[in-house]
Structure 1
Amino acid sequence: MANNKRFIWEKVQNGIMKDASILIDKETGVNYLFVEHGYAGGLTPLLDKDGKPVITPPNEIIDKM
C-alpha cells in the first residue's frame, strides 16, 4: 500500500499540558509549527530570518519518511 500522507509529523517538545511539533509538507517542503496547549492549539509556518518560509529540500524529506 502506498503512503499517501501529505505531512511528516515530528514531535519536538513534550510537556504536561503542551506539545510542540513540526509538520513538513511533502509536496512543497514548507515547515509548520503546531503547538497544542490543553484543548487549544495553533499552526503557523516557520519563517527564516528574512521572513521567508523554512523549506526542507526534497532529498531530506525522503530521508525522513
Structure 2
Amino acid sequence: MAKDQRFEKVYSQGMLETTEIWVDKKTGVNYIFHTSGNAAGFTPLLDSEGKPVVSSVWDK
C-alpha cells in the first residue's frame, strides 16, 4: 500500500456483512462503510447532534 493514502481504516467488524470506520487523514473526518451482499454504503459518521465525528489529524 502506498504511504500517501488519504484514508486509513481504524475499525472493522464482520465477515459476510462488514462495518468499517475510515478516517480521512487530511481532514480528520470519520466515515462509516457498510457492506451486505452486493450493496454497500459510505457516509460520514455523525455524533448525537448530527455533526461529523472528527479525529485528530496525523501523518504516518
The TM-score range, normalised by the shorter chain, is 0.7 to 0.9
Could you tell me how far apart the structure 2 residues matched to 1:27 and 1:47 are? 18
Give 1:10 deviation, angstroms.
Answer: 2.9
Unmatched 5+ residue regions in structure 1?
none
- RMSD of the TM alignment (CA)? 1.7
Q: Which structure is larger by alpha-carbon Rg, 1 or 2?
A: 1
| Structure ranking higher in helix proportion | 1
1:39 aligns with 38
- Runs of 4+ aligned structure 1 residues displaced above 3 Å come to none
TM-score by length of 1: 0.78
TM-score by length of 2: 0.83
Matches within 5 A, 1:1-65: 3-15=3-15, 17-58=16-57, 61-62=58-59, 65=60
Unmatched 5+ residue regions in structure 2?
none
Letter in 2 for 1:12: S
Give 1:11 deviation, angstroms.
Answer: 3.7
